[in-house]
Structure 1
Amino acid sequence: MPPPLLPPLLLLLLAGSARGAVHVNLTEGCQIIHPPRDGGIRYRGLTPDEVRSVRFLPFDYEIEYVCRPEREIVGPKVRKCQRDGTWTAMGHPSRCLRTCPKVHLSLENGQVAAGAMERVPVEGTWARFSCQPGFRLVGAARSNCTKSGRWSDPKPQCLPHRPLLR
């Protein structure tokens, strides 16, 4: 007796899996994704009950990441469901990082060079301090924004040089 015929879709899946080249999306839309740690997702036009009951969101639907207070999103803030069933920019993680006070980013009678900074100083941002001519730096020349949302060193000061006494 000949073997039963397999449905054409199953044959396509079996043939594709052997080569690893065929992607068949058996759903319409993108799977719900998880929010970043210390954050959430804003689902436009959906109630909390609808969000809990849905497993897939339609093509072209956009989600927006939001963070708890005193944290800032680093990475894509918005993701969109693409026609292939994936979300945009998933190779770039979105994280909610603690922010440090902006007061460290200005220095009276001096300059601050900030590095690794997003829109605001977050964990990993550093600040390098220097003084204008005629002033000397009192305190650390560099400070780092830490995981706890604090700068590693107090903000320094630029004080006037004292004339040498002879």
Structure 2
Amino acid sequence: MACEAVECPHPDPPLYGQLHYENAQYNSTVNYTCDEGYFLTGASSAVCLVDGTWSAPEPQCKPISCGPAPIPQFGMIIYNKIIRVNNIIYGTTGTYKCRPPFALFGKETAECTATGQWTETPQCKEVRCPPPENIENGYKDEPSQNLDFGYDAIIRYGCNGNYVLDGTQIVCQKNGQWSQKPSCKAPCSIDIKRGRILYKGKKLWIEDLKPNNVSHGEFVSVYCMDADRNCGYEALTQCLDGNLQIPTCFEEPSAALYSMKSGSLPSEIQQC
């Protein structure tokens, strides 16, 4: 006759958990733990009994859940996935938003943590901006009704005449100040009396540009002479808020040359 050690079936780890044991023989102990965000239901340990069974069935690891996220007054939360209100599990996140003129102060995103609690809830505080100022050479595009200059309010601007708007609008920010105002940029005149230009893809004699101005941001080319190669070439310049610099290579012809021998100008001869 021989004596053999009693041995229990080797246990399996629970889903979303682990087990810890040295062997499955009589009087051995197995310990169960769960992954972060899960809690154990059932016995956390079991002992191998003399009849070859474990003293407790294998436990389960179930996800930790939080209740609905706290909602600040005048605010709301948008969860990152479809949820059941009574089963918001660990790792679920949500994004807070406030109803204007209330602005969000604190973290925009909340998370259901491994403790079953939500991270810190932000606040919705009322924010108002002062009446917006006008801009030089422009106007505010305000609706006819009374405006409430609260958080996230938008004021749009326009420019007078042939001024060009740089930017479009201002927004009431959470610090109670408006965002940077746009500005109206001035047009430019082309300060040459005689010569040809390239503007919007067309070659024009300067006297045919009526009126003599181009808008802020637009490009114009004058024609310069490459004496070494005896050819003409375009020299580009840009209108920047009323200032258009004529390239230094440009030489304005005399009145006589312009009227009697215009075909010899850099704009009319072979281009480099």
**TM-score after normalising by structure 2:** 0.30
> In proportion to residue count, which structure has more helix?
1
Which one has the largest radius of gyration?
2
Using CA pairs under 8 Å that are at least 6 residues apart, name the structure with larger relative contact order, 1 or 2: 1
**TM-score after normalising by structure 1:** 0.45
